[in-house]
Amino acid sequence: MDYASSLLNLLPAARRKPGLRELLNSVDDYLPAEQVERIRTAAEFGASAHLGQKRQSGEPYIAHPLAAAQILADLRLDPDTIIAAILHDVIEDTPISKQDLAEKFGQPVAEIVDGVTKLDQIQFRSREEAQAESFRKMVLAMVRDLRVILVKLADRMHNMRTLSAKTPVRRRASARETLDIYAPIAERLGLYGLKIELEDLGFRSLYPRRYRVLEKALKRARGNQKEFLAKIAGTLRSNLEKAGIKAEVQTREKHLYSIYRKMLRKRTALSEIVDVYGLRIVVDTADTCYRALGVVHASYKPMPGRFKDYIAIPRINGYQSLHTTLFGPNGVPIEVQLRTDDMHNVAESGIAAHWKYKSGENLDSVQQDRAREWLANLMLMQESGNSEEFLESVRVDLFPDKVYVFTPKGEILRLPRGATVVDFAYAVHTDVGNRCVAAKVDRRLAPLRTPLRNGQTVEVMTAKGARPNPGWVNFVVTAKARAAIRQYLKGLHRREAIELGARLINQALGEFNLTTDKIDEDIMAAAIAELGLRDRDELYERVGLGERLAPLVARRLLPTSTGEEAGAHGAAPLAIAGTEGLLVSYARCCFPIPGDPIFAFLSTGRGVVVHREECANVDDYRKHPENWLPVSWHAAADRHFSSEIRIEVANKMGVLAAVAAAVSGTDTNIERVSFEERDAETSLLIFELKVADRQHLARVIRVIRHMPEVLRVYRTIAAHGQPE
């Protein structure tokens, strides 16, 4: 009788739970007796903690954690991970505390369980926010111990296997979350075995009818294909043996969700997907992989453009193999993978291979290093934005990597498909991204938003004092770049809000011949405390963001003797120079420029929004006089402003080009052009220009007005009631 069986006989009959015998038999194959005893004790402890609890299917609750532990035992993971899987729900669902677990099973087990525990105890505004915050907490725990995600993936795997007990709505929600987050995480960490099953289970629950149709069609095609592949495999085995190469040749079949995604991506029918079945050749060394590749290509002609060398350039999760596609008999394409035994283990287990029990020795691995690098990027992401924004960034970051580009020194960077030059700059280093101003792609200057392709060499040029452009957020695809840009702009936004708030308060105090410098420190401190703020900077920031009104704050800062002597001098208008940054914006309904009579409105979160006085939208703002703000143009406004003009023209060949040439002839930049056809005789051209002031714009309009094709030219201004 083996050790696991003898332990089971010692358990009271009432305590023997489904799955425990299988689990103990599995761990008994590779763990010493004392560790099997620890796992048995954990199973007893978990059974007692969950006593009386049942799953929606009606089975005892302990069956779920035991099944999750079995998934990890099949990967031959270490005892602490197995025990944490058995106990992963006790903190959430029972009175057992983290401290209780630490005392009985050790701190590592307690930390893993705490990392997996959801945040059900905290109240959130929505289910989405709770889900996102739980995921954020799990990621933070993963940084401390990567085994957290292994337990979470095993938990999710068993939940997906038993999803039929849930309502259709809950099934679809779980399936969508699995396909969006957990299966890609498994792939990102190299856990392909888990990833494939999670995807197929999610596919079956999210699209049950499509799953059934595809499964049925695949079964019909399977017989002929298997026989066909067996012949090719036999030929390759024979040729490899003749070349003196010892190799294992396996047939392989793509899983359903992978086929479904390929059909969607290429918009093809199942009959047109050529690599549903393939071959895998496993050899002893990387050098033998390349020798075997030569034999394979000598046996069947390779398909041009379909060879990928993931041994020389591994995937971002550490995956290594040679991929090639052959012209088989009758021209049928056959996909072949070549790898070593070690590469195959990593391909199946990923970072889990790091915790496979090896007599207590846990050696660092390339996969673990890559996983930690990814988690460091996740940490950077979570520092900016809320939980839901973080979860969305993770979704974007989990897209499969497809682009491999080179630095000028020949180093390889792996980026997601669609990554731009700016993504590359931030992948090199955050400071390089923040200060990049131009770039060369394959030694030619290229715009920063240029999407990159495989094999390109990218050189980034930086400038001292340069800073990220807010518009970059609209086209970068990597979470690291997006998080770094937002983090920088968040700090910049705060500095500008503080500066603007100080100016607004000083403007309001000017009505009483005072400035903030003349306000007694005790009065300032009392006002800050009364408003529940930390310090003077936070007060200025709130005012600059429009969350506090400057006139009301100014009155709180007045010495009592100043009292009601307001209004004798009036507040001086706030001088607008056009260089205030993010907290002063110019309304796009009327496009104010220097020289226009202007009016400003303090908008919460946006700061100061400047309109022309004749703008129809101003009528609505006048209903809230507490948010009005007197403003004037600074004498030395030194920048160009957007202005929009509308030009009615006769429909003639080349009229748009002629007008654009006339505008360019006045040294004016054209930002945007649109075209509206009025009728058979006339059309409307809308030009957005960059001008210095009214005189500059008048000069442009004068040139256009004298063109024979032009019927009318005028500035854009909002019609009454038109939204901004």
Indicate which residues carry an active-site annotation: 92-93
Q: How far apart are CA 23 and CA 154, in angstroms?
A: 14
In three-state secondary structure terms, 44 is helix
Q: Are 117 and 135 in contact (CB under 8 A)?
A: no
Is 294 within 8 Å of 270 (Cβ atoms)?
A: no
716 vs 590: CA distance, rounded Å: 6
Sheet harboring 598-603: ordered strands across?
A: 584-586, 607-612, 598-603, 628-629
Indicate the DSSP class of residue 517: G
Q: How many CA atoms lie within 13 A of 33 on its CB side?
A: 5
Kind of pairing, strands 584-586 and 458-462?
A: unpaired
Q: How many CB atoms lie within 10 A of CB 231?
A: 11
What backbone phi and psi angles, to 5 degrees, belong to 336? -125, 135
Pairing of strands 436-441, 641-650: unpaired
SS3 (DSSP) at 599: strand
Single-letter amino acid, residue 483: A
Question: Which is it for strands 607-612 and 584-586: parallel, antiparallel or unpaired?
Answer: parallel
Q: Could you give the CA distance from residue 7 to residue 13 in angstroms, rounded to a whole number? A: 12
Name the nearest CA neighbour of 153 among 205, 190, 111: 190
Going by their DSSP bridges, the two strands 584-586 and 436-441 should be labelled as unpaired
Name the CA dihedral angle for 316, 319, 320, 325, rounded to a multiple of 10 degrees. Answer: -100
d(CA 328, CA 351): 35
Q: Give the span between the Cα atoms of 402 and 345, in whole angstroms.
A: 22
Phi and psi for 341 in degrees, rounded to 5?
A: -60, -45
581 phi/psi in degrees, rounded to 5: 90, -135
Buried b (16+ CB within 10 A) or exposed e, 677-713: eeeeeebebebbbebbbeebbeebbebbeeeebbeeb
Residues 314, 255: Cα–Cα separation, whole Å: 22
Strands 598-603, 574-576: pairing is unpaired
> How many angstroms separate the CA atoms of 42 and 299, rounded?
55
Q: Tell me the chain's radius of gyration from C-alpha atoms.
A: 33
Structural contact between residues 203 and 257, judged by C-beta atoms closer than 8 angstroms? yes
- 8, 27, 198, 341, 671 from 16: Cα distances, Å: 8, 17, 29, 39, 74
Longest dimension (CA), the chain: 105
DSSP string, 227-294: HHHHHHHHHHHHHHHHTT---EEEEEE--HHHHHHHHHHHT--GGG-TTSEEEEEEESSHHHHHHHHH
Q: Which of 220, 240, 237 is nearest to 229 (CA)?
A: 237
Backbone phi, then psi, for 192, in 5-degree steps? -70, -35
Residue type present at position 501: G
Q: Distance of CA 498 to CAs 425, 507, 681, 693, Å? A: 30, 14, 54, 28
Amino acid at 629: L
Tell me 180's DSSP state: I
β-partners of residue 436 are: 462
